[in-house]
Chain A
Amino acid sequence: MPDLDRVVGGLRCRDVLGDLSEFLDGLLGPERLEMVQAHLAGCSTCAQFGADIAGVLTALRSGAPSRPTLPDHALERLRARVASAIARPSG
């Protein structure tokens, strides 16, 4: 594993690794963002790793719209069970 303490653009790889999720989510402040971008521009290791993680997340999210919805019969069964349970006096 290459050195995580290598400094590029004023940040260590270790720091960029810690900030990676917030970077990918667009949650870094402007100053920090600029530093991370400078690091990524000069460090192919972090740039490659960031692209890999982003690729995995894109692949994960790409399945979200086509994930199984609840079939009608299952929804109706659940509604009936809940309706029956809450219609009963508790206890």
Chain B
Amino acid sequence: MKPHAESNRPSTDGADRVALAGAAAGDTGAFDGLVVAHAATLHRFAHSLGVRDSDLDDVLQDALVSAWRAAGSYRGEGTVRSWLVTIVHNAVRQWQRQSMVAATRRADLDEAHALESLESVADRAGWGRTDGGQAADAHEVVSLALQRLSPEDREILVLRELEELTGEEVAQVLALSLPAVKSRLHRARLRLAAAVRTLERDTPSLSSGVPHAGP
């Protein structure tokens, strides 16, 4: 895919590494530069994982203060961006644990996901059907569908498709092997397609005016 303009991330990883080394030595200005460079990505990521607007500042502040304290422990494994996203991911998990409802729901979904075969996911995503499938320009429908996915599926899609982290960076953030990232990403994509189908079926107004290839 073609990389999109990253107006929120003017920094390169080289510059980030210099800034982080400065932060490790106590330079708060250097750390502030990292905050400015990555705040939009970190904010979108936490928001996409379901952190409520009213809690976003607290979650991000906790994560960034942790990053400041841990700056000296960064060993150059992975990019600074993925290191920061990892810390925010951990902060979000902690936020989720503090909500019993979210934790219960998450456990249920984890179990359901582990049991669902690729065949079943593909079936839900419309494999073998010729009723048109999804429209390429249905960005709104796809965004709505994304919000209906489990946190696991949503986070990997956000990291890979929207924030455009590399497979290696995603592996670092989610503490998974590269093959596990590929497998999870594949299923998440099919579940997204399935969610789009469900939305279009249940909410006909969403797909009105959307051209379909099939009869």
A residues contacting B by CB (< 8 A) are 1-2, 4, 14, 17-18, 20-22, 27, 45, 48-49, 51-53, 55-65, 67-70, 74-75, 77-79, 81-83, 85-87, 90
Contacts and interface: CB of A to CB of B under 8 A. Distances in A.
Contacts of B134: 52, 55-56, 59
Interface in B54-96: 57, 60-61, 64-65, 68-69
Nearest to A81: B61
Contact of B123 (A1, A27, A64): A1
4 pairs of A and B residues whose beta carbons are closest in the complex: A52-B133, A21-B186, A55-B136, A2-B128
Nearest to A2: B128
Contacts of A75: 36, 39-40
A14 B146 contact: no
A39 to B, nearest CB: 14
Contacts, number: 137
| Interface footprint category on B | 35 or more
Given A22-B182, A79-B36, A69 B138 contact: no
B182 A55 contact: no
